[in-house]
Structures are given as C-alpha cells and as structure tokens.
Amino acid sequence: MFKVGSIFIPVTDLERSKKWYEENLGLTKVDEWQENGADHGVGYVFKNDTTGLALIKTEKPQPTEFTVKGKNKNVYYNFEVDDIQQAYDRLKQNGVETTDIHDYGIMKGFDFFDPEGNAFSAVSEEMNSPYHKDNL
C-alpha cells in the first residue's frame, strides 16, 4: 500500500548540488521549480526506478543524520547499490569524501558526504541477508 515516493535533501547551493548529484548518483532530472521565490528545488528519479530524490534550496545547512548514543550518528536513509566496491571506487575517483567500506556480515557499507557536508550511506546486502531483494 505504501512505498517511499521521494527523499528530500536540503542544500544551500542548488547549482553546485545539482551537478554533484547528477555526476555521482547517476540521477535523471524530472523537474525544477521555483514558487514565488519561497521554494526552489529540483526533482530526480533513480535510473530503473521510480523513487524520487529532490534537492531543496535552504538558507542554512540542515542535518541529514541524527545522534544515536553519545557521539554516534546515523543517517536518516541509505542508498542501496548492487556492487559496493564499484560504487565506492566511483565516488573516490570523483573526489568524494568517504569512510572505508565496513563489513557487517550480512551487509557491507560506507558513508559518503556531498559538497554541503550532508552524510549518506551506501549499502549492499549479502545474499544471506533477510533484506536482500531476493529474500523479500
């Protein structure tokens, strides 16, 4: 009945962010809007998917992660990739700041940061993961 329709990401420099997201995440642009100067954004979809991602211009940076315990932080959402090493190598080659790839047993993943400092995770589920697409 429900599914994720779109993810909204706050950015202060929309033009720089558009270029970065298109180059690094391989998104397809669907729409760009500006409503009376109050709301300016651009909407994308992921290739071979209908899930949307929208960049929304904000006046100041907004958090894309929350604190779990102490200084441990967690991102609000992650991006699933088929090949974690390929995704990691592509971002590194493009000069994107990343953490190392971590092996969690049933999942591998790493964090990466957009030019605004927004934190995201890329994950790849192993075949024995209950979250792997073939097991759902």
List the pLDDT tens digit at each of the 136 positions of the chain: 898 899 999 999 999 999 999 999 999 999 999 877 678 999 999 988 889 999 999 999 999 999 998 888 899 989 999 999 999 999 999 999 999 999 999 999 999 999 999 999 999 998 888 888 888 8
- Give the pLDDT of residue 132: 81
* List of residues 6+ apart from 9 with CB closer than 8 A: 17, 53, 54, 55, 56, 64, 114, 118
- The pLDDT assigned to 135 comes to 82
Q: Establish whether domains 6-57 and 65-135 are of one fold.
A: yes
Q: What is the pLDDT of residue 88?
A: 98
Among the listed residues 75, 64, 79, the one whose alpha carbon sits nearest the alpha carbon of residue 27 = 79
pTM comes to: 0.89
Q: Is CATH 3.40.50.970 the right assignment for the domain spanning 6-57? A: no
pLDDT of residue 8: 95
Which pLDDT value is given to residue 71?
87
In three-state form (DSSP H/G/I as H, E/B as E, the rest C), the secondary structure along 88-133 is HHHHHHCCCCECCCEECCCEEEEEEECCCCCEEEEEEECCCCCCCH
CA–CA separation, 113 and 92 (whole Å): 11
Cβ 43 vs Cβ 6: under 8 Å: yes
CATH code at 65-135: 3.10.180.10
Question: What confidence score (pLDDT) does residue 98 get?
Answer: 97
Domain boundaries, the chain: 6-57, 65-135
